[in-house]
Amino acid sequence: MCVSGTPNGDHDHHGHHHHREETSGLARSRRSFLKGSAAGVAGIGLAAAPLGPALAASSGKGRRVLDLTHRLTRTFPSFLGPQAVFDEVLFTIEDDGFYTKQWTFDEHIGTHIDTPGHFSPGMTLVDALDPETLIAPIAVVDIERKAKDDPNATVDPEDLMAYERRNGRIPRGALVCMNSGWDAKVGDGAAFRGGSGFPDLNFPGFSGDATDWLVSKRDIVGIGVDTMSLDPGNSADFAVHVGFLGTGRYGVENLANLDAIPSKGALGFVGPVPWEEGSGSPCKVLAMVRGRGRR
């Protein structure tokens, strides 16, 4: 974990005043440059144009892009407990001419990807993921009813077969996502964790039998969950993390808005940060859907 800060969640500012003195010259230089070049930048229409409308237009008539990503906040629920994200404003527009923050957090926070190398030594890490696997058809398996009765409910092979009876065969190369309705709890850390923090956790996930079935019978690229772990919260052996990721596939945790996309037919995009030898990364996850998007 790369979390920093005092036990009560306050930031540790030791050394930052010295840092600002060292960089004050840089700030003045950049402020002068920014002021001198502002007019030129403002005149470049394409550089300032938002990409969203262009992407929507290129996706074809009757299609739209939906965000499956939670906003990463300082209080986002952590697997180990509260307050795992820390930030500090380094420069302000008022004082320095530009705005910059410094963040400190674990690779596995917010909506994020787990790589094969997260639990298995020598396996693929985030900077070596095959980009072709990061754009994939999404299959959404709904277990909301099970999750209401059992906080540690799992996606089982029976759920996958029931999904296929309603929606057809899960395509090869798919990203199979569990919708348990758990993302609605994200504003309450204790409720989202289902406890105080590892090992006191209770939330839905995939079963090892289900991921074995998906690997052997459907050859998918990854799985996704709307909870903070691929395994259910009460797992003691992390069978899915070890077994599924160990096959060279990836997982995405803390997805949002899975109930807003169809059970089948959406095209997903997973965008992790390819930092050097990272075991995972917060990422942007988008879904391109036809029509209104709801099932």
Asked if 124 and 116 touch (Cβ cutoff 8 Å), the reply is yes
- The span from the CA of 176 to the CA of 225, in Å, is 9
Least confident of 4-8, 13-17, 177-181, 290-294: 4-8
Catalytic residue annotation: 118
**Higher-confidence position of 21 and 229:** 229
In this prediction the pTM is 0.81
The one-letter amino acid code at 247 reads: T
Compute the 3-state secondary structure of the chain and give helix, strand, coil in percent, each to the nearest 5: 35, 20, 45
**What structural domains does the chain harbor?**
1-49+85-106 (no CATH), 112-290 (3.50.30.50)
The pLDDT, as a whole number, for residue 62 is: 78
Mean pLDDT of 21-49: 42
Whether the CB-CB separation of 129 and 115 falls below 8 Å is answered with: yes
Instruction: Give tens-digit pLDDT for 234-280.
Output: 999 999 999 999 999 999 999 999 999 999 999 999 999 999 999 99
Task: Give me the percent of the chain exceeding a pLDDT of 70.
Answer: 78
CB atoms under 10 Å from CB of 107, counted, come to 20
